[in-house]
Structure 1
Amino acid sequence: MYAMKSVLYGVVLCAAMSFSMNAQAAAACDSWSAATVYTQGKYATYQGKAWRAKWYTQNEAPGAQWGPWEERPASECTATPTPGGDGSGIPEPSPTVGMHHGSYFAQWGIYGRNYKLRNLVDAGGDKKLTFLNYAFGNVYANGECNIVTRTETGNGDGGDGWADYQRGFAENESVDGVGDNWDDKLKGNFNQLKKLKLKNPGLKVMISLGGWTWSKNFSKAAATDASRKALVSSCINLYIKGNLPVAEGTGGTGVAKGVFDGIDIDWEYPVAGGLASNGYSAADKQNFTLLLAEFRSQLTALGATNKRRYYLTAAIGSGVDKIRNTEPALYSAYLDWVNVMSYDYHGGWDATGPTNFQSNLYADPVAPGTGDILKYNIHDTVQALTAAGMPKAKIVLGIPFYGRGWRGVAAGPDKNGLYQSASSAAPGTFEAGIDDYKVLKLKRSTSYVHPVTKQLWIYDGNEFWSYDDPVVIATKIAYAKEKGLGGLFSWSLDGDDANATLLKATGGIRP
C-alpha cells in the first residue's frame, strides 16, 4: 500500500511539475503591433502564426526570411485575453454615442463591381461608420447556419465560402496593404473585416442573415422552440465563436473569432411579401419575435461568459403592410437598433408604371395609387412603427446607394415623366430597373427635386430614374434629427462612387 501511495504521489508530483513548466512556457502571445518593442525571446502572433523575436525589433513585421522573427509552434504561447473581450486579440468596439451610421458590404461586390473593403479605406469612408453589416449569411433547409460554396439554384441552397474566408487578397487589395499567405487559415472578406476592425476600434461588424434571396427557410426554422434554439446556436457557433468549416486549406475552430460583434436578422418577410418560393405562415408574426428573443438570450449568455457585449439588430420592411405582419413593440425590445429598409417603395417590377419615387421622405397627395401604397414613404413608415410601439431612438433609416427606373416613359403634362406610363423597366448594369448611384449620376438627363416628397428624379425623354444624392440625404438627416431617430444606414457600399460621396453625406448624421 505504501509503495502504491509513493508511486501515486510521484505521478501527481510529476504531473504538477509538468503543468507548472507548461504554464511557465506559455508566454504571452498577443497580436503583433508596429508600435511595440520586442526584445529577444518575446512572442507575437501575425497572420495566424506564432513568432518569437530573435533580437530587439520594432516596426518590423514577422515573415521576412532573414528578419528578426522566427516562426514557432502555437503551443508555446497564449494570447492575453482583452479585458471585456473574447480573447481573440481584437478589441471589443465601444458602444455608439449619439446616432448610428452604418452600411452594408455585399459579399458578391468583389466580383462584377470590383468593390473591396480596401476601396472603403482608400476613400476614407471607414472612418465615418459606427457599424458595418456583412451581407449575407444563409439559413439552410436543415434550419441551421452554414457556409458552403455553391451557386444558388433558387432553393435557398447557395453560398460563397470562397469570398467569405478562402480567397486570397493581394497587397494592393488588402485593407492594411499586407497580402494573404497561401496557408493562412482566415482569408477572404472575413480577414479583411478583421483588419478593418483593427484599424477602426469603434467599428461594430455584424453578420446579416437572410436577405431577399436567402429568407426561404426562416419560417420553418422559427416555428418551434427547439428549432429556434438550434438555428441560433448554429449561427453563433459559426459567426460569433468563429468555428468555420474547413475548406481550401482554410477554416477551423475559432478561426473567425472576433470578426463579428453581433448578428443582423434580415428576414424578408414574415407572413408574406418576399420571394414566392419562401416558406410562409401566419404564425410568423409571433415567431419572428420569439426568434429574436432566442438570439438575444443566447448572445447575452455568451457575452456574460466572454465579459463583453454582443449586438443584435434586424432589417425590416418599411411598407405599412409588412409592419402590420410583425410586433414592433415586442420584438424591438430584444434589438439594439432596427434598420428600416426605407427604399424600394416603387420600382420597375411595375413594368408599365406609373413612374414613382423609390425612397421619398413624404407622401404626395396627388400621387397615383390606393390603399397601403399611398403610405409608401419614410414619414408614414416612421409613424406606423412608433404607433405600433417601437421606440424612435431605435429606428435607423435606410438610404439607397442606387436608383429605380423605367424606360419608354411618357413625358406627361409637365414634361418631366413623373407619374407616367412606361414600356418596361429601364436597362441596368446588372439587372433591369436598378442601377448604382455612380452610374446614374453620370447620365445626361434633366434632374428634378419634388417640393413635397423631397425626392430626386431624372428624366431624358425616355428613361425615368429616382434616387438619392447628397442634397436629398441632407434632408433625411434633418428629418431623423428632428424626430429623434437612431441614425442612418445605407445599402450598399459598392453602389457609391470612388470618392464615397454618398457615404460621406450620410456621415453627416453624426456631429
Structure 2
Amino acid sequence: MSTGTSGRTRHTKRITYRAVAVLAALLLPLATLVGLAAAPAQAAASATASFTKTSEWGSGFQGQWTVKNTGTTTINAWTVEWDFPATTTVGAYWDALVTSSGGHHTAKNREYNGTIAPGASVSFGFVASGDGEPSGCKLDGGPCDGSSGDDPPSAPGQAVSTGVTENSVSLSWPAATDDKGVKNYDVLRGGTVVGTVSGTTFTDTGLTADTAYTYTVVARDTAGQTGPASPPTTVRTGTGGGTDKPPSAPGTPQATAVTDTSVALKWTAATDDKGIKNYDVYRGAAKVATVAKLAWKDTGLTPGTDYAYTVVARDTADQTGKPSAPLTVRTTGGGGQPGDYAKVGYFVQWGIYGRGYTVKSLDTTGAAAKLTHLNYSFSNIDPVNLTCLNGVTKATSPNPQDPNQGDGAGDAWADYEKGFGAGESVDGVGDTWNQPLAGNYNQLKKLKAKYPKLKTLISVGGWTYSKYFSDAARTDASRQKFVKSCIDMYIKGDLPLTGGRGGAGAAAGVFDGFDLDWEWPGSEGHAGNHVSKDDKANNTLLFAEFRRQLDALSTTTGKKYLLTAFTPADPGKIEAGWDITTKDGTPSVFDYMDYANVQGYDFHGSGSDNSWEPNRTGHQGNLYTDAQDPYTTKFSVESTVRAYLDAGVEARKVVLGLAFYGRGWQQVADGGARGEWQAAGGAAPGQFPEEAGTRGYDNLLASVPNLTVHHDEQSVATYGYTGDKGQWWTFDDVWSINKKTAWLKSKSLGGVMIWEMSGDSGTLMTAVDSGLK
C-alpha cells in the first residue's frame, strides 16, 4: 500500500543525537555549570542594593554595593548584577565572587555573608578602571530599588450595552491585559464605583427610566494595582414597557468594488424594536469604522491579501447585536508578481546534532536571504495536560513503530538551553551562561534581526508528535486550553524554566505564528495515534480557535499572526480529515489559515523498518502521473493540487511541497527501464544508520558511488541508478525544480515549501529562488 502521505522523513530527534547534547553539557566549563545551577533564594522585592564610590582617583575608583534585607524573612543567598560602559572595567574585588562578561558584571555572595537577617545589610567592594556609573542593576533578577517590577494592567476595552430595561443596564467589555494577571474590574457610573466583578460583564440596577448614564471600567491586577479607565460609554435606560432587546445581525457584507489597496462594502440593515443608531465594521477582530449608513470603503490595504469583514449593529440604547456572517475578500494585485511567492523552509530542531546544520547554516548557505518563511519543527503535545509541550529533555524511543514513541518527548536543550559560541552564532556573538534565551530560538531571533522580512513559525505535531491532536481538539474547552497554551508559550514567549533558561517572555518575538502538522486527522498516521470519527469537524474548529485567539491578540499588539498547515496528498486522508470545501455559509478549514503546505513528495519510498514499499521502486514527487505507474492510487503533484483547487481552495493558498532529500532502494533490477518501478530488495543504506532509505540531496550525490542521474520527461521526475542489482534513488534536482516552479506559476499557486533545509548547501534553494522570480 502506498503511504505517500505518511511524511516518513518528518521524524523527531533521535536518541543518539540527544546523547551528543548531553555530552556537550558535560563538557561545559565548571564555572558555567555552577552559574547555571545557582538560583536566587529570595525575591528582589524584599531587598535593595545600593551603590557608592568610596574613593576616586584620576584613572579609576573604589566602588561598594550594599545589599539590605527590607523584608520580614531571612535571606540566605543573593546575586547583584549591573552594567558598566565599555570604558570601565572591574579588577580586584572582595566579599563577593564577581564575574564579568563584556560590560556586564555579576556578584554572588561568599559562603560567610549570604545570610542577611531582616533589617540587616552586607557590603562588597571592588576596584575599577575608568569613571563609569553602574546601570541596569538587578538584585536576584528584580529591580535593585526593591520595587516589584510589576506593571499595572492595561485599560479594558470600551464597554457595550448588552441589555437595557427602564431601570437596568447590562454591560460587557473586552478584557484588560497584565503581566501577572487581572484579578477583577471596577465598574464606575460617572465617577462612582457601582460594582466590582471578576468577569467582563456587569448589570447595573435601580436606575431611573429614560435617563442617560455614563460608564467606565478599570482593571485591577493580582498585586492590587489598578490601570487606566476604559473609554466611556453612555447608555439610556428604557422608557417603560419591558426589556429593550438588542438589534439583530446585519446581512452578510458584499464587496461592491475591489482594488489593489481598497475594498468597498455594503450590507442589508439590521432590525431593532427601538431603531438602529449605527454600525461597527470589523476587519478581522479589529473595529475599523463606525458608520450610520449601509456601506463603507476600506482603504490603505495591501495588494493580493485576504481581509475578513463582519458588521455589528448598534441601537439607540447603544446596545450591540450579533455580528453578521463573515466575508473574506482578496485585494487585487500581488498575485504572480516577482518576489510575491512564498518560499517556506522547515528547519529541524535535531539538525544541529548529526547533520551539523545550525541556524547559522541558513545564513552561510544563502538560504535565509531567499526564504520568506521558516518553520521550526517540532513542538510536542503534553499527553496529560493536552497543552503545547516544552521545557523537557526526553528522547523519542528508537523504535519507529513504538506507539508511545513521542510521548512526553522534547529537546529544550536544542530549543533554548544550548549556548552557541561566537563561531556558531548568526551575529558572531557567543551566548553567556545567564541569558534567559539561548539555543536555536535565540539564533532564530538573531536571524530575523539580520533578515527583517523573514517570518518564523513554530510547527506543532509532525509524524511522531501528532498522537494527541485528536484529544486536544475534541471539545470547545480543550481547544481553548490548547490554543491558549501554545500562544502563551510561543507567541508571548513564556517558556518553562529549565537549565537556567526560559521564563516569562523569554521567547517573545521569536515566532510569528503557527504551522499545524496534524498527521493525520481521521485516518492512520504514526502507530498509536489517537483517531476519532469527529476529527474532521474538530480539525476545522481547532483552526477556527487558533485564528480567533490570534486575532484577539492582534487587537492588543497590532501585529498579524500567521496560521498555516501541512496537508496531505492522499485523497483518502483529505476526505477523512480536511474540510476543504466552503459550503453555503459554512467556513472550510482554509478560511482560517493563511496558506497550506501541500505535500508534494513521499508518494513512494521504503523506510528503516521496511514496512512501507520495500519491494518496488517509485517516484516520490513526480509532477504528472507516470504512465508506467503500477499502483492503484497513482500519485502526482498535478493530481494532488487539482483535488484542492477543484474543491474551491484559492490557488494562492496552495503552497507546493518539495523534498531536499532522496528516497532509495537497493538490489534493484534493471528491467529494461533503468530501475523505474522495478523489483527491489529493501531500503538502500541511508545518510544515518537509523534512517535507511533516506539521504539529503548533497549527501546523496556525494556518497552513492556510480550514480547516474536520469530525467523522466513524461512524468517530470528525477531519479538516479547505479546499475543492475544496485541502488535506485528518487529526488528533486535543479531540472525538476525548474519544471515545477514554472508549472505552479502557471496555476497561480502561492509558492513552494521545502522539507527540510539541511539536505542542501545552496544549489536547490537557488533553483527555487530563481524559478519563482
**What residue is the counterpart of 1:133 in the other structure?**
375
**What residue is the counterpart of 1:32 in the other structure?**
none
The one of 384, 387, 390 equivalent to 1:144 is 387
**What residue is the counterpart of 1:399 in the other structure?**
658
1:260 partner SS: coil
Quick one: distance in 2 between partners of 1:466 and 1:316?
22
1:441 partner SS: helix
**What residue is the counterpart of 2:4 in the other structure?**
none
* Conservation of the 8 A alpha-carbon contact between 2:616 and 2:680: yes
* Conservation of the 8 A alpha-carbon contact between 2:524 and 2:531: no
1:463 partner SS: strand
Within the alignment, does 1:327 sit opposite 2:579 as a pair? yes
1:227 partner SS: helix
Quick one: distance in 1 between partners of 2:82 and 2:645?
52
Within the alignment, does 1:123 sit opposite 2:365 as a pair? yes
1:504 partner SS: helix
CA offsets per residue over residues 260-289 of structure 1, 9 Å max, x none? 000110000111131121000121111111
* Conservation of the 8 A alpha-carbon contact between 1:361 and 1:378: yes
The one of 515, 529, 548 equivalent to 1:264 is 515
* Conservation of the 8 A alpha-carbon contact between 1:242 and 1:257: yes
TM-score by length of 2: 0.55
CA shift, 1:353, in A, is 2.9
Structure 1: 5+ residue runs without aligned partners?
1-48, 80-85, 87-93
2:685 partner SS: coil
Q: Residues 428-447 of structure 1 correspond to what in structure 2 (within 5 A)?
A: 428-430=686-688, 431-442=691-702, 443=704, 444-447=706-709
Quick one: distance in 2 between partners of 1:397 and 1:73?
51
Segment of structure 1 superposing worse, 66-75 or 355-364: 66-75
Q: Residues 177-326 of structure 1 correspond to what in structure 2 (within 5 A)?
A: 177-325=428-576, 326=578
Q: Residues 95-106 of structure 1 correspond to what in structure 2 (within 5 A)?
A: 98-106=340-348
Letter in 2 for 1:388: A
Quick one: distance in 2 between partners of 1:352 and 1:510?
35
Segment of structure 1 superposing worse, 185-194 or 350-359: 350-359
CA shift, 1:115, in A, is 0.5
**What residue is the counterpart of 2:770 in the other structure?**
508
Letter in 2 for 1:382: V
Q: Normalized per residue, which structure has more helix?
A: 1
Matched length: 442
Quick one: distance in 2 between partners of 1:491 and 1:133?
10
Structure of larger gyration radius: 2
* Conservation of the 8 A alpha-carbon contact between 1:327 and 1:388: no
CA shift, 1:62, in A, is 6.1
Segment of structure 1 superposing worse, 171-180 or 146-155: 146-155
Letter in 1 for 2:675: G
Quick one: distance in 1 between partners of 2:564 and 2:770?
22
Quick one: distance in 1 between partners of 2:594 and 2:516?
12
CA shift, 1:52, in A, is 6.7
Quick one: distance in 2 between partners of 1:434 and 1:181?
37
**What residue is the counterpart of 1:417 in the other structure?**
675
**Paired-residue identity, %:** 43
CA offsets per residue over residues 36-69 of structure 1, 9 Å max, x none? xxxxxxxxxxxxx98575889xxxx963787979
Q: Residues 462-473 of structure 1 correspond to what in structure 2 (within 5 A)?
A: 462-473=726-737
Segment of structure 1 superposing worse, 209-218 or 140-149: 140-149
Give structure 1 regions of 4+ aligned residues with deviation exceeding 4 angstroms.
49-56, 64-71, 74-79, 94-97
Compared CA separation, residues 135 and 155, structure 1 to 2 (3 A): closer
CA shift, 1:70, in A, is 4.9
**What residue is the counterpart of 1:343 in the other structure?**
601
* Conservation of the 8 A alpha-carbon contact between 2:85 and 2:103: no
CA shift, 1:157, in A, is 1.6
Q: Residues 104-119 of structure 1 correspond to what in structure 2 (within 5 A)?
A: 104-119=346-361
Q: Normalized per residue, which structure has more strand?
A: 2
Letter in 1 for 2:660: F
1:396 partner SS: strand
Quick one: distance in 1 between partners of 2:344 and 2:751?
8
Quick one: distance in 2 between partners of 1:271 and 1:228?
17
Letter in 1 for 2:493: G
Compared CA separation, residues 70 and 459, structure 1 to 2 (3 A): farther
CA offsets per residue over residues 332-374 of structure 1, 9 Å max, x none? 110111111211000014444321100111101221111xx21
Quick one: distance in 2 between partners of 1:50 and 1:276?
53
Structure 2: 5+ residue runs without aligned partners?
1-80, 89-100, 106-128, 152-176, 178-301, 306-333, 398-404, 582-587
Compared CA separation, residues 73 and 348, structure 1 to 2 (3 A): same
Letter in 2 for 1:453: S
Q: Residues 362-373 of structure 1 correspond to what in structure 2 (within 5 A)?
A: 362-370=624-632, 373=633
Letter in 2 for 1:452: Q
**What residue is the counterpart of 2:715 in the other structure?**
453
CA offsets per residue over residues 4-37 of structure 1, 9 Å max, x none? xxxxxxxxxxxxxxxxxxxxxxxxxxxxxxxxxx
**What residue is the counterpart of 2:278 in the other structure?**
none
Q: CA RMSD in A?
A: 2.6
Letter in 1 for 2:371: L
Q: Residues 39-54 of structure 1 correspond to what in structure 2 (within 5 A)?
A: 53=85
Compared CA separation, residues 407 and 178, structure 1 to 2 (3 A): same
**What residue is the counterpart of 1:474 in the other structure?**
738
Quick one: distance in 1 between partners of 2:133 and 2:372?
36
* Conservation of the 8 A alpha-carbon contact between 1:107 and 1:189: yes
TM-score by length of 1: 0.82
Quick one: distance in 1 between partners of 2:446 and 2:766?
21
Quick one: distance in 2 between partners of 1:50 and 1:203?
34
* Conservation of the 8 A alpha-carbon contact between 2:701 and 2:707: no
CA shift, 1:176, in A, is 0.4
Compared CA separation, residues 352 and 187, structure 1 to 2 (3 A): closer
* Conservation of the 8 A alpha-carbon contact between 1:156 and 1:215: no
CA shift, 1:510, in A, is 3.7
* Conservation of the 8 A alpha-carbon contact between 1:54 and 1:69: no
Quick one: distance in 2 between partners of 1:449 and 1:242?
47
Compared CA separation, residues 404 and 69, structure 1 to 2 (3 A): farther
CA offsets per residue over residues 401-454 of structure 1, 9 Å max, x none? 10111101111023x011101011111022111111011122321111101111
* Conservation of the 8 A alpha-carbon contact between 1:386 and 1:392: yes
CA shift, 1:183, in A, is 0.7
